[in-house]
Amino acid sequence: MNDTAFGADTGTPAAGAAPRRIGDPWAQAFAAELKHRHSPPPGLVDRLLEEVAEAVAEAGRPAEELLGPAAEYAGLVAAERIDETHRSVLDLEGRTPAAHFRQGLVAAGAVFAVLTAVHSLTGREEGPGAVPLVLAVPLYVLLAVTFAVFPALRAAGRVRAAWGWSLGVAVTTLAGAAALARLPVVREADPLGFPLLTTVGCGVLLGALALLLPEAALERLLGAPRGGDGDDEQWLRRLGALLRGRHGVPVQAAKQHVAEAREHLAASGGSARQEFGPVEVYAMHLTDGPGRAVRRARRELVGSGLSALVLTAMTVVAVLEGETGRPDFWVRVALCVLSGVYAASLLPKVRAR
């Protein structure tokens, strides 16, 4: 760490600090890496940029030459300047459970709004078996919420709850859609029972709701139950859940870490908290290192790959039903291609060692 670039973290920029313009895109890349990968506390990014600018001005050299690549330096700074208690609640993507819920709900709301708008503007699907939006919207909203809840619960280390919620929603959605389609009132209803502004507004409302919900309330709702690591067995179970969910460690490797911790406790005779400290901090230390980037790429590959498969299936169905002339068909095709390209771009990272 370059001591001239970063002094004591006093909470405010040093007096007479240089402007935050560093003269090239390095500063923007550095700030983006910190914000999106390490979720720093409020105000820290601005302080760091001030300190970097001052160091660059004093040295008279470009930031990259003085400090190295922005992404690598951001990782070094995060390890030194961000408290480990704060870092321990972040998952592979550098997000808290509340951040996952908010971003997931905003994204799901946006997708819902776009798809319903395209569907509404390109005509109606008349005919028996069509489900009107007045009944389909609750199912869509439930799916959108699941899009946000699953990664949030996983980031909280509640892996079973995440999969249980998703399975329950899948069963409810399929059963509900099948039951609704059989009702005479549904078969005879207008499949676009809501006006355009109402359907699009529903998606916008989802995104607005995510931004308005207090973060503290979301953390209490999504986080692990209080006292969940009170005794050694609870601590060990929580360790395994955090390794699998928050940090993306494979199941067998997570079990091995838990077994080693249990053996150590049996030999030492101490308690888990005495020997290892807070379970979230210990899980973070176990998973720090170069393998973290590989695990993150693997998790992103699974998500984008599943998205590509689902969108491909929807595209194939549309082709078989002769609906290739509709604009919403080409929206699905574009999303399918983008998901596939992104998944392919992750393969070299997954294979890295």
Q: What residues have CB less than 8 Å from 333, skipping those under 6 apart? A: 315
Comparing 42-51, 58-67, 176-185, 203-212, the range with the smallest average pLDDT is 176-185
Helix (H) or strand (E) holding 22: none
Reading the block at residue 286, the tokens are 């176990």
What does the alpha-carbon distance between residue 138 and residue 257 come to, in Å, rounded to a whole number?
Answer: 42
Reading the block at residue 41, the tokens are 């506390």
DSSP string spanning 323-345? -TTSHHHHHHHHHHHHHHHHHHH
What does the alpha-carbon distance between residue 210 and residue 222 come to, in Å, rounded to a whole number?
Answer: 14
**Backbone phi, psi, residue 157, to 5°:** 80, 15
Tens digits of residue pLDDT in 134-165: 556 676 677 777 778 888 999 999 988 998 98
pLDDT confidence tier of residue 259, bands split at 50, 70 and 90: very high
The whole-chain average pLDDT of the chain stands at: 77
- Hey, CA dihedral for 313, 318, 321, 324, is it positive or negative? negative
Q: Which amino acid is at 343?
A: A
Comparing 24-28, 182-186, 330-334, the range with the smallest average pLDDT is 182-186
What does the alpha-carbon distance between residue 288 and residue 122 come to, in Å, rounded to a whole number?
Answer: 50
Taking CA atoms, 264 is separated from 81, 127, 229, 283, in Å, by 31, 67, 17, 15
Global pTM reads 0.72
